Structures are given as structure tokens and as C-alpha cells.
Amino acid sequence: MIGRNLGRYKIVEILGFGGMGAVYKGVDEVNHRQVAIKILPPEQASDPERMKRFLREARAVARLHLGSWSSSATVRRR
């Protein structure tokens, strides 16, 4: 994933991983800001309850103000 682009976001490095997937440090190439990108594994993304939890988390993060980190949330399904 490192070096890949997901839309306007470039993945720079992995920050960590856990039960709901991996979190990467990225760059919003339009606004030139650091972002955190969480990616669910396919088996998690296909589970409606996990996806519901993920979307709830994304909405909560979007409301935060995190200094130099972007707090917007984008969810893209494949």
C-alpha cells in the first residue's frame, strides 16, 4: 500500500493495525495536508455490522480538530 494513491490521497507509511484494519499516514495531494487513512480488509468491509461501525467512527473523526492533521473522512467502497 505504501506509495499508492487512493483518489487524492497518497499513502506514505503504516502507522498501525488492529482488529478493524490498518491505519496509514497519508497526504491529501489537493490540500497538501497530512491525513490518517484507515483501510478495512475485504472480509471486514463485506460485513454490514463492521461497515456500520466503521462509518460511525469515520463520522466521529470528521468532527474532530486535530491540529496539523486533516480530520475529514472519506469512505470509498470497492
Report yes or no: 42 and 51 within 8 Å, Cβ to Cβ: no
Q: Is 67 inside any structural domain? A: no
Size of the chain, expressed as the number of residues it contains: 78
Q: What is the pLDDT of residue 78?
A: 52
Q: What is the pLDDT of residue 32?
A: 92
Report yes or no: 31 and 70 within 8 Å, Cβ to Cβ: yes
Q: What is the pLDDT of residue 13?
A: 96
Q: What is the pLDDT of residue 8?
A: 92
Report yes or no: 24 and 1 within 8 Å, Cβ to Cβ: yes
Q: What is the pLDDT of residue 15?
A: 93
Interval 15-74: pLDDT, tens: 998 888 899 999 999 999 898 888 888 888 899 999 899 889 888 887 776 665 555 555
Angle formed at CA 25 by CA 23 and CA 49, multiple of 5 degrees: 25
Q: Is 69 inside any structural domain? A: no
Cα gap 35→55, rounded to integer Å: 17
69: Cα within 13 Å, side-chain hemisphere: 14
Structural domain harbouring 12: 5-62
**Domain CATH code at residue 49:** 3.30.200.20
- How many domains does the chain contain in total? 1
